[in-house]
Amino acid sequence: MATNITKIFLVLNSGSSSEKFSLYEGEDEVCSLYFEGIEENGKKKFICTITRADGSEEKVDKTWDTLDVAFKEAKAIFEKEGFINEAHPLDGILVRVVAAGKYFSKNHIVDAQTMKELEKVQVTNPLHVPGTERGIKNAQETFAGVPVLIMSDSEALTKDSRRDTEYALPREIIEEFDLGRWGAHGASYGYMMGKIKDLGILEKKMVVCHLGSGCSVTALVDGEPAYTSMGETPLEGLMSSTRTGSIDPTVGALLGEKLGAAEAIKLMNKQSGLQALAGSNDMREIIAGAEEGNEDAALAYNMFIDGVAGKIGEFAAKMGGIDAIVFTATIGERSIPVRNSIIGKLEFMGFKLKNDAAMDKSKGYTNVAEEGSKPVYVIPTNEAAYMIKKASELLDA
């Protein structure tokens, strides 16, 4: 059956103190609602911001005492605005799942087994799973009868082409905890793999750098994933805004013994990385601080650059070379200094950037490399478009 691109999907993003609802018609976002907590006269309130397709924003003129009301309020707002009605019902509600294991390496329509599997992965994913469970249950209650789909954040990476899926641990431990290097940012990489082919810029050996609040790198051979930097969870690999990235496992074990496993995982995910080093997780502030001589900011920046360049070099060694590099996500797309610093370390591999390497949005991508250099592409990612495409396929199967 052909995929119907005019389906209406609601994409959920459940945080610990926020809830975002993005409504899509096909792959076009028509409206989003963002509920977030604020302090007002010493009391915590939740407010909602409506963002429409033209980019205009509106604050809803009332506050709520709890985030639990967000779903019912969101439904009421979408209906009042005319985005959802009998003639235009929701086709599905999408919940991104950052959870490891064989079950969650695929997309699923939520059923009883889904909830059982989520309980199993609480041990390795204590930060993400509670929000996922809350989002699913609230969606089912508020939008009764609408299919809820979990969209795996590793699905695009769990391919037979991967060469780095195993850990050197005893087999019985691997099986007991269902451990593997599943990877993450899969919706972004899935989109990029399709986009690279559609744009006609596919090279045999490519590295895609997804650099945003979370950071990862994936190597593609013939357009399929071969290596990726994240592992069982997004904590492995590159340092990012609040994550340590890969550290000596003994440190994690010691933190677990001192704080308990869940608190240790929270510390390494939420209170580390650029934030811990520089006191900020905003790359623009870190660059400005480094330029002003702030030693902490300079250390954070240099560690970040070394981490990304080093991972690209590692993948070059594993693939026997690189033919092209792609930058995507917020930092990758917007930060000329970051791109210059990373590629500056890779000139020995045949890469060099233009001095005025700004993004040309007219073509949907830009080759920011100097003439005579191997290509360095900047391509905006669109994770929602990839999830919607996959959700349509799942519902039409």
Please, what is the angle between helix 336-344 and helix 295-319, to 10°?
Answer: 50
What backbone torsions phi and psi does residue 271 show, to the nearest 5 degrees?
-125, 20
User: How far apart are the C-alpha atoms of 330 and 327, rounded to whole Å?
Assistant: 9
User: How far apart are the C-alpha atoms of 376 and 379, rounded to whole Å?
Assistant: 10
User: How far apart are the C-alpha atoms of 64 and 47, rounded to whole Å?
Assistant: 7
User: How far apart are the C-alpha atoms of 78 and 26, rounded to whole Å?
Assistant: 16
- Which residue shows structure tokens 């593997």? 180
DSSP 309-357: HHHHHHHHHHHT--SEEEEEHHHHHH-HHHHHHHHHTTGGGT--B-TT-
Structure tokens, 365: 């991508």
Q: How far is CA 336 from the centre of its chain?
A: 21
User: Which residues participate in catalysis according to the annotation?
Assistant: 153
User: How far apart are the C-alpha atoms of 192 and 328, rounded to whole Å?
Assistant: 9
Structure tokens, 122: 């609480």
SS3 assignment, position 389: helix
